[in-house]
Structure 1
């Protein structure tokens, strides 16, 4: 290096230092700017784009994760029994067995208690709606089953009778009509009708059959002339069966166009009633229930079954009542009990109407198994007005019900005991 190099180098270093000093404020200013931009309290300049938000997880991915975890847990749980020892599996099976037996025992107890809260002779109408009316059978069948099967005829035979039980001088009306599958009336003719003893009766055939006339003339029980409904009237006491007791059958042969076939009606006949309703009724509130006493003149002593129907003030069926006890000869009373809790639960509107009362003497052996009383058709008695508070809300009690309830409760207790033992894994004694 020459002597001249020294001053030149010193000047150069001086200029370089001055340039670095000039950069320091710029560096400090830039750092301050970036620090201000990144601080939480800084506001974004107007018009500046908002910073991008953090990425949001896909909902399907979020849902899939717990599902996969649940599936894994379920698989582990379902696989758990296979991991149990034979003794543990046996204990688990015993627990399941007694759990099911306990549930079944509880259901049996609850069902029995609910079904017997009212006595058998006083039941709500909803239990047997078909028994709230007197029997007036009506049925439809093909006039010729063979023709119906092969498709050559769709004529249907409609058969109806206004009663099944006939007593003394009572008469029964039979109706016959023909119609197609759309219930359009078709030509109909009763070619023949013959009343006779039913074949299953012992000694049948002792009384010769008698003809029964069917017509559509608006007479002899026929409601409307020319309506296509042919009616026949049968009065056993006046048509040769005054001394007969049992089932009588009326065979009819019907023709519609070129199709002809047979059908039949059955009635149960009693020539002389064993007892007679006098139609006198008295009522009383006793032991929290409403009792209706029907006066009966008994000619033959024995066990009598009497039943009646009750409607509320609006004519809505409310209950069926019955009697099943022995009666001695002479003037007796039949008690029809309207149970207090039944009245409280159903809350009928008073007064109540007793209607359609029928009865019979039950025979210990033989066919038929009964002798019929003359049915009291239509309204028989209208009660006084009562408030619901006049009747007891207590359930029916009897030695038989208590005995069955106790046995069912024992079943529940035993099942509970065995289940508790299985749950605690200790054998029951």
Structure 2
């Protein structure tokens, strides 16, 4: 890296003129220096160096102030300092963002970070241009569709609906001409499919079943695989609906993932407890098939505002087990929810690796499951979550931050150092 101090060679040449210079050139140079001194700060006119004169790498006789840094050296120093500043800022961001993002465990996170999982049992609704059998879309007719859920456990049902409208909202007359549900089973590398049982579905707009209002142009149907020839099918069930709207033919598909086996069932009433400074909702489970279970619950505050997403992800053995869905202590302190808290909409599955589908579903618990009796933060800890892995990462990130801070301070002791976003560097 270039230094802001002149080299030893420069100092040696600046201490006296070369002995071989002619007397006339020496006199001319001395006269020029005197003339510039009288001119003060006026810029010196540019002139080509005389033959035998020192090169541009030598002492700057024209207007150089003693101790002043050469412009190229100053620019390089500024660039180097900026590089060190950026390295420190990156190291500081890595440390601070990891610390902030890991202060709660993965099993208890703010619902604000998972808004798409707040209401898992709400219908999935879409509005898309009508598509024909050739898959070409018609922007003049929009198809409003909904399905009550995507994942189906044994014994559960799913409701489908569709309605055609113009872009201005005017309902377009629609007739369902054919609707068939069938399982999709891939063969080998997925290039083909083995046919399965086909189940016809009756879509109606008569105000019965899944259709809430008769004659509104919305046609609905209900599929309950356990009551059909698809009762033993495990995987994706596709319902293909063919229809006409405004005299044009269209096609639509609904997909659900069905699990015919129940790997575990809920057993007994839930309870609550303060465990390690956190509020835990404890659910009893009777496991029929051992393995890794992923169980998720939503926690609302007393105002009904979604507060936390609680997840259980552990291996369970066969027989009676307990599952804890936790509102982490520090999350309760930081989020300041209105107490008491309510656990609702719990779902779970047995994770199956290297298979498709990759899960067997437990029966879901829809709506409120339990409201806690805890109405204060007494006994609730305000400490950050810690683990061997988190401490190891924090140690490494802190080391990088200290090193970047030290290098910047060493390079420019008098210069300012950007403030850290999460406290002083230690």
TM-score with structure 1 setting the length: 0.76
Q: Say if 2:101 is the partner of 1:112.
A: no
2:302 maps to which residue? 313
Aligned length: 343
Q: How does 1:64-103 map to 2 (within 5 A)?
A: 84=70, 86-103=72-89
Cα distance in 2 for partners of 1:222, 1:97 equals 65
Tell me which of 98, 102, 118 is aligned to 1:132. Answer: 118
- Point out the more displaced range, 356-365 or 204-213: 204-213
Find the counterpart in structure 2 of residue 268 from structure 1.
257
The answer for the alignment partner of 1:232 in structure 2 is: 221
CA RMSD of aligned residues (A): 2.3
Partner of residue 205, structure 1: 194
Structure 1 residue 172 and structure 2 residue 158: aligned? Answer: yes
**Which among 167, 182, 185 is matched to residue 196 of structure 1?**
182
Aligned to 2:230: 241
Offset, 1:241: 1.0
CA apart distance, 1:272? 1.6
Q: Which residue of 2 aligns with 1:325?
A: 314
Q: 1:83 to 1:198 in 2, by over 3 A?
A: farther
Deviations 1:352-383 (A, max 9, x none): 11110000000121100111111111111111
The answer to whether the 8 A contact 1:143-1:259 is kept is: no
CA-CA distance at 1:217 after TM superposition: 1.1
Aligned-pair distance for 1:120? Answer: 0.6
Equivalent residue in structure 1 for 2:383, among 384, 388, 394: 394
What secondary structure, in the 3-state scheme, does the structure 1 residue paired with 2:373 have?
Answer: coil
The 1:175/1:251 distance shift into structure 2, 3 A limit, reads same
TM-superposed deviation, 1:188:
1.5
Which of 289, 292, 295 in structure 2 is aligned with 1:303? 292
Report the Cα offset of residue 423 of structure 1: 1.4
Q: Deviations over 1:148-204 (max 9, x none)?
A: 989x76110111111111111211110111111122222112111111122647684
Q: Which residues in structure 2 correspond to 1:330-341 (within 5 Å)? A: 330-341=319-330
> In the TM superposition, what are the counterparts of 1:249-260 in structure 2 within 5 Å?
249-260=238-249
Q: 2 CA distance for matches of 1:257 and 1:231?
A: 19
Larger Rg: 1
For the residue of structure 2 that corresponds to 1:218, the secondary structure is coil
- Quickly say closer, same or farther: Cα 1:279–1:187, change in 2 above 3 A: farther
The answer as to whether partners of 1:309 and 1:319 remain within 8 angstroms in 2 is yes
Residue 347 in 1 paired to residue 333 in 2? Answer: no
Deviation for aligned residue 1:88: 4.2
Instruction: Determine whether 1:411 maps to 2:400.
Output: yes
Residue 248 of structure 1 aligns to a residue whose secondary structure is strand
Structure-2-length-normalised TM-score: 0.76
1:367 aligns with 2:356: yes
> Which residue, out of 128, 134, 146, partners 1:141?
128
- Aligned equivalents of 1:83 and 1:265: distance in 2? 73
- Between the aligned partners of 1:224 and 1:424, the Cα distance in structure 2 is 76
Q: Distance between the aligned counterparts of 1:107 and 1:342, measured in 2?
A: 22
Q: Which stretches of structure 1, 4 residues or longer, exceed 4 Å deviation after superposition?
A: 85-88, 145-150, 199-203
Question: d(CA) in 2 for partners of 1:201 and 1:311?
Answer: 44
Structure 1 partner of 2:148: 162
**1:282-293 aligned within 5 A:** 282-293=271-282
Residue aligned with 1:155, SS? strand
